Each structure stands twice: as C-alpha cells, then as structure tokens.
Amino acid sequence: MIIRCTIRDNDFTHIFKDFCIDGKYYTEKRSGFNLLDNLFKTGDYFTDLGKEVQEKRQHFLGNVHKKWKKSDPDYHLLIDEIYRQWDIFAKDHNFESWLRPTISIQNQLTEKDENGEVCYYFTAIGQCLIM
C-alpha cells in the first residue's frame, strides 16, 4: 500500500514525510514508530473489534499484495482514519487547518515529475519518497 499526500506546494512535503515516519514523534507521543503503527489502533471502529480481528486488519493494511480500489468498503474507511491521524498530528504541531493534505491510496507509482509536491509513504517498508 502506498499512501499519497500532497497540497501541491513543495514547501510542505517534509511535513508530510514527518507525518508518515517521524519515529521520535510517534514513540514519544503516540504508541508506535510511524503512521502505519497508529492506523486503527484508536477510535471506536478499531477498538470495538476483538484482538484477533485487529491483528488481521493490521496485516491486511500492510499487505503489499492487496490491490486497493476506491470501491472497496475499507478504502474510504482507511482514508478517513488517515485524515483523523493527520488532524491529531497537526494539532500536536500547531499546524494551520489549510495545511490538510489531499490523501489517496495507490498500488503503484508511475514515473512523472511532480515538482517535489507529493510525498509517497510505502507502508510495507516504512519509507517515504518525495517526487
């Protein structure tokens, strides 16, 4: 799974990279090492599920072989959860509301120049690429 974040301004892509993989922030303030560790760990939807279901969902979210489609029921649920995580991150860093990124989930990248305005977070390896 590849999470794509952008606001079409290359001055802020480093903030999106920190949102995805800032280990210091996540270990000190949130209960994980990166964004993926925190997806669905909090909030009513995830905590109401049993531990076995939680573990299956975490495996499902990080599975590189899962081909995400916008028609999948969990696609929009996952996007909403990423936005919820962004809102927490932004509040912790006192970011303005206009800095909220556009987020999507992709299965692959195409080679194109995006002027350094897009941050891609590869959940399977916990790394970001800015294009």
Sheet holding 102-106, edge to edge: 102-106, 2-6, 118-122, 127-130
Number of domains in the chain: 1
Query: Residues near 81 by Cβ (< 8 Å), separated by ≥ 6?
Result: 39, 40, 43, 45
Range of the domain at 75: 2-130
For 31-89, write each residue's pLDDT tens digit: 888 888 777 665 555 555 666 666 666 666 666 666 777 887 778 888 888 998 999 99
Model pLDDT, residue 37 = 79
Name the average pLDDT for the chain.
83
Please check whether residue 124 is in contact with residue 66, taking contact to mean a CB–CB distance below 8 angstroms: no
Q: pTM of the full predicted structure?
A: 0.82
H-helix or E-strand spanning residue 119 = strand 118-122
Query: Residues near 106 by Cβ (< 8 Å), separated by ≥ 6?
Result: 2, 3, 4, 68, 120
Q: What's the longest Cα–Cα distance across the chain? A: 44
